């Protein structure tokens, strides 16, 4: 790995790293916030997954998460949303498929399968790199995300219960098998013939089989222009009710899909995770 940026921030340090990814067969970047840690003890860690068109930079520069993370003593990691580079296939005419739209799954269709292995990257390769190079407590990790990243956070939480202690999301795609964004991505990455494979990446489907006692926090703005067609939080609420999963779904008048919304409520999400991550 190579450190390409470093900034003092709230008595901690915000770093950006670049590394060669064997999972994605390309060069990747991620940011990591390291709070002041005079004790030298390992610290809890939260991974934030961003949405369509984003890179690691969107959360890093816009979310306003680091004051609270420093106060709580939590490391925060922000990876990219897809593989990158000239050799990586893309759909240049789409903002919601290809680069910037990895959907945090492992593609099985060509030409995507060679590079688009985002589930393996997040849960295995990147997780191992972070644990090997920083003072992270591997047993105290959580995950959160926004939009497509909210989809990723929820599905990876359910699929990797041994890895993540808690989950939260802003404006997540909760039912990708039932909305245009998810249907387009799943057809391209997973194929359109076997939709049982799709269900393995749908939070509404996963919660019915993987409910637990840890409360999930979701914030959704009611002025979000993607709310009715793409997000449909009521479907996840119904699935949680059916399975007995604890859910705190907060609906906010006047808030949209932007990082202004995220920055308004990010402290609540960090507090939510700290409740489960603290000693």
pLDDT confidence of residue 279: 74
Residue tagged active-site, from 146, 201, 257, 272: 257
Q: What is the CATH number of the domain that holds 191?
A: 3.40.50.1820
Full residue range of the structural domain in which residue 148 is found = 2-277
Task: Kindly report the pTM of this predicted structure.
Answer: 0.97
What are the residue ranges of helices labelled H in the chain? 56-62, 66-72, 118-120, 127-133, 148-159, 180-190, 195-199, 203-210, 233-243, 259-277
Residue tagged active-site, from 147, 166, 168, 171: 147
The verdict on whether 166 is a catalytic residue reads no
Give the angle 259-49-184 at the CA atoms, nearest 5°: 95
The verdict on whether 94 is a catalytic residue reads no
Residue tagged active-site, from 115, 224, 269, 273: 224
As a whole number of angstroms, the distance between CA 256 and CA 45 comes to: 28
Task: Give me the number of domains the chain comprises.
Answer: 1
- Residue 25 three-state SS: coil
β-sheet with 216-221: strand ranges across: 2-9, 12-21, 26-34, 75-79, 43-49, 136-146, 167-170, 216-221, 247-252
What are the per-10-residue average pLDDT scores of the chain (279 residues)?
A: 97 98 98 95 97 98 98 98 97 96 98 98 98 96 98 98 97 98 98 91 97 96 98 98 98 98 98 94
pLDDT confidence of residue 194: 82
The verdict on whether 257 is a catalytic residue reads yes
């Amino acid at each position: 790995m190579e450190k390409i940026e470093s900034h003092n921030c709230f008595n901690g340090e915000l770093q950006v790293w670049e590394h060669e990814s064997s999972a994605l067969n390309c060069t990747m970047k991620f940011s990591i916030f390291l709070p002041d840690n005079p004790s030298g003890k390992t610290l809890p860690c939260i991974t934030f997954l961003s949405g369509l068109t984003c890179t690691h930079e969107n959360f890093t520069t816009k979310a306003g998460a680091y004051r609270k993370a420093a106060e709580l003593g939590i490391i925060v990691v922000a990876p990219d949303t897809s593989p990158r580079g000239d050799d990586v296939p893309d759909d240049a005419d789409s903002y919601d498929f290809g680069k910037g739209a990895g959907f945090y799954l492992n593609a099985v269709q060509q030409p995507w399968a060679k590079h688009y292995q985002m589930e393996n990257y997040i849960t295995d390769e990147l997780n191992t790199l972070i644990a090997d190079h920083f003072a992270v407590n591997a047993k105290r990790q959580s995950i959160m995300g926004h939009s497509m990243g909210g989809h990723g956070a929820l599905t990876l939480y359910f699929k990797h219960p041994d890895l993540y202690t808690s989950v939260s999301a802003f404006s997540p795609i909760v039912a990708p098998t039932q909305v245009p964004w998810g249907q387009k991505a799943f057809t391209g990455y997973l194929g359109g013939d076997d939709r049982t494979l799709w269900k393995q990446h749908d939070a509404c489907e996963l919660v019915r089989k993987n409910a637990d006692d840890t409360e999930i926090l979701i914030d959704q703005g009611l002025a979000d222009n993607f709310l009715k067609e793409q997000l449909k939080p009521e479907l996840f609420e119904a699935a949680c009710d059916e399975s007995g999963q604890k859910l705190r779904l907060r609906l906010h008048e006047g808030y949209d899909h932007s990082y202004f919304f995220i920055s308004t409520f990010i402290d609540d999400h960090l507090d939510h995770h700290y409740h489960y991550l603290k000693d």
